[in-house]
Amino acid sequence: MIEANDPSLKSWVEVPKGSDFPIQNLPFGIFKTQSSNARVGVAIGNQVLDLLILNKLGFFDDFKIHDSVFNNPYLNDLIALGKPFCGALRQRISKLLNINNPELRDNKNARLKVLNFSYNVQMQMPIKVGDYTDFYSSMDHATNVGTMFRDPANALLPNWKHLPVGYHGRASSIIVSDTPFHRPKGQTKPADSDLPIFGPSKLMDFELEVAFVIGKETKLGETISTEEASNYIFGLALFNDWSARDIQTWEYVPLGPFLAKNFASTISPWIVTLDALEPFRTAGYKQEPKVLPYLKYKGEKNIDIQLEVFIQPENGEDNLICKSNYKFMYWTMEQQLAHHTSNGCNINICDLMASGTISGPTPDSYGSMLELSWKGTKPITLKDGSERKFINDNDTVTIRGFSEKHGVRIGFGEAKGKLLKSL
């Protein structure tokens, strides 16, 4: 077991009940305050630990890390030091925050310098994303979409159970939680028209996803086996792959998603390490028919992460509209990575790989408005009495997620985005 994951650990930093960030989590992110520039931090309870100042004060002397790794607007340089190195650093941070360790606990001067209350910090985009890939790995989601648009009897296309379907997305428009954006314009073809029109999307949707961050690169031509794959995965974040369904329907044939998805994708600011999530591994769906040898894996490779989606109308209350779970993924991260590199495609530090919409087997677990409202035929009623088939202007969509076991809750914070009216 990873020492920093021990459920019995306690911190001298107060961690409120139900907090996403107990001492067993210690996710990495980038924050700034009114008086400091962007830098690397770690979340603990309602506070953010400043790793740059800890380094300057000598608390990481054994690691010999240059200040520039922490005095940095992205986590890339830290993650590039390697997963074993970052794991050891997480272990050191766990020691420093441990209730029984006086080193930092009893050094009031240092304590005041390295801890910032969350309400005083502004979270930044955590990583400079290299390449971004989006998969389509939830069987319930793929089945729902196939049922709606093709044939309920043959909802999954012939390839679906043989390979994790994916496409190359766009990294430039990935935005951190709390960054509003405008409803995209695009080309659509109304059902009652022979010709397409150009204008604001009328069918804006979210996609409930989880993304993983690459923590080790490969060279062109190298492949990764399912067994080694977890060594290449640094951590995970919540991800909303905003989608304009009307643009998508018209443009996606024959090459797949393009402008319907590349205008904005929202990521949560804390990267929860895969190390912290290892205790929550669980079994996934049985894969039948059997997969090809390069996609076979041993053990439990899914992760139990409870996921929730909320819609908040302008000046209104949050409405819980979906409860799903990352364990509903048919294809695991390890298989996605093995498949992605099976042709020799190289991967780089801080590439991002998203799961695809994560729907579960029941209608309350569907991870998009397309499915929740079943193509707009079953509107959802919010607490204020208004109805939603898709997302309205000025709605805020929030994804939350956490794993919980043995009294330990490893949370992700949130991926929140407000849809502004089209420009």
Residue from 20, 207, 334, 395 binding Mn ion (CB under 5 A): 207
In the complex with Mn ion, the residue whose CB is nearer, 50 or 251, is: 251
Stretch that binds Mn ion, among 61-69, 207-215, 380-388, 407-415 (CB under 5 A): 207-215
Dihedral (CA of 200, 201, 202, 205) sign:
negative
The amino acid at 295: L
Stretch that binds Mn ion, among 85-93, 137-145, 201-209, 222-230 (CB under 5 A): 201-209
Task: Kindly state whether residue 371 participates in binding Mn ion, applying the rule CB under 5 A.
Answer: no
Spatial CB neighbours of 382, under 8 Å, sequence gap ≥ 6: 311, 313, 316, 319, 388
The C-alpha atoms of residue 299 and residue 287 are separated, in whole angstroms, by: 13
The C-alpha atoms of residue 247 and residue 260 are separated, in whole angstroms, by: 5
State the number of binding residues for Mn ion (CB under 5 A).
3
Stretch that binds Mn ion, among 47-55, 129-137, 144-152, 367-375 (CB under 5 A): 129-137
Minimum distance from residue 356 beta carbon to Mn ion (Å): 5
In the complex with Mn ion, the residue whose CB is nearer, 262 or 273, is: 262
Residue identified by tokens 């994560």 is: 358
Q: What is the DSSP letter of 222?
A: -
Stretch that binds Mn ion, among 3-11, 54-62, 188-196, 233-241 (CB under 5 A): 233-241
Instruction: With CA atoms as reference, report the closest residue to 381 among 324, 325, 316.
Output: 316
Q: Which of 66, 141, 162, 182 is catalytic?
A: 141
Q: In 10 A of CB 209, how many CB atoms?
A: 29
Q: In the numeric block, which tokens belong to residue 94?
A: 């766990």
Minimum distance from residue 414 beta carbon to Mn ion (Å): 18
The C-alpha atoms of residue 357 and residue 240 are separated, in whole angstroms, by: 9
Q: In the numeric block, which tokens belong to residue 214?
A: 């690459």
190 dihedral zone (left: phi>0; alpha: psi -120 to 50; beta) = beta
Task: Kindly state whether residue 241 participates in binding Mn ion, applying the rule CB under 5 A.
Answer: yes
Give the Cα-Cα-Cα angle 96, 102, 106 (nearest 5 degrees). Answer: 105
Q: Does the annotation mark 339 as catalytic?
A: no
Minimum distance from residue 131 beta carbon to Mn ion (Å): 15
Minimum distance from residue 241 beta carbon to Mn ion (Å): 3
Minimum distance from residue 273 beta carbon to Mn ion (Å): 23
In the complex with Mn ion, the residue whose CB is nearer, 207 or 414, is: 207
Minimum distance from residue 134 beta carbon to Mn ion (Å): 5
Task: Kindly state whether residue 77 participates in binding Mn ion, applying the rule CB under 5 A.
Answer: no
Binding mask 131-160 for Mn ion (x = CB under 5 A): ---x--------------------------
The C-alpha atoms of residue 171 and residue 27 are separated, in whole angstroms, by: 22
Residues annotated as catalytic are 141
> Where along the sequence are the contacts to Mn ion (CB under 5 A)?
134, 207, 241
